[in-house]
Amino acid sequence: MALRFLYDNVSFQQNAQEASLVVTGDITNNSGKDFNAVVFRMILFIKTRRIGRLTITMNGFRNGQTRTFKELVGEVELGHGLKIAPELIRYEIYPEGAY
């Protein structure tokens, strides 16, 4: 059985001084299980070009619980000073491991 999580309110804000992004959003545990920890992998793209990736860890993630995350992606592969429009970013997110 696949683990079920809901990803909502995901947004991106670029740091104007650096080639980095702040990613925020909510994850809801709809798996029917309580977890000590769940690790999610998020990959960021503009069109088909990967521009970054990050790992999100949720400790003590109970069934039915919604948690907010805020992560800095410091390795955005755009180059220093290049601005991107947040609405151009697409992402893939999936649970990488849980126990």
More confident residue, 70 or 14: 70
Judge contact between 23 and 74, C-beta under 8 A.
Answer: no
- What does the alpha-carbon distance between residue 74 and residue 53 come to, in Å, rounded to a whole number? 9
Each residue's pLDDT tens digit, 4-13: 999 999 998 8
Name the residue range of residue 24's domain. Answer: 5-98
Is the pLDDT assigned to residue 1 strictly greater than 80?
A: no
More confident residue, 18 or 91: 91
* Type of residue at 24: T
The three-state secondary structure class of 50 is strand
- What does the alpha-carbon distance between residue 13 and residue 84 come to, in Å, rounded to a whole number? 9
Each residue's pLDDT tens digit, 32-68: 999 999 999 999 988 888 888 899 999 999 999 999 9
Which pLDDT band, with edges at 50, 70 and 90, does 20 fall under? confident
Judge contact between 49 and 35, C-beta under 8 A.
Answer: no
- What's the structural domain count of the chain? 1
- CATH code, domain carrying 41: 2.60.40.10
